[in-house]
Amino acid sequence: MAEQLADIIDLPTEYVTWHSPAEALWVASTPTAYVGMVDRNHDGFVATDCTGRELGVYATQESARVAVYGAWVSPARAEEASEQALIA
């Protein structure tokens, strides 16, 4: 089943790691690519993809990270997911 699923879904093979180079800023990358970032402001957690496009403002850091990862894995779905973000 896993091999069949892997054939259907083209998932990246690199691991995403998160680093915090400054307070209230988290940057996602792989060994070969910039994935995106999350920064905290007074409205919540702002997710930004690898092209600099804002994905939305989220209530939790975790949900913003999921949005960044999702935009990297499936850029077309990122458009739909950003509609679910909290906009204050």
**Long-range pairs of 83-86 with CB within 8 A, sequence gap ≥ 24:** 83/56, 84/56, 85/47, 85/55, 85/56, 85/57, 85/58, 86/43, 86/44, 86/56, 86/57, 86/58, 86/59
Query: pLDDT > 90: what percent of the chain?
Result: 59
For the entire predicted model, the pTM comes to 0.72
pLDDT of residue 54 exceeding 60, the answer is yes
Mean pLDDT of 1-11: 52
pLDDT of residue 1 exceeding 50, the answer is no
Domain boundaries, the chain: 10-82
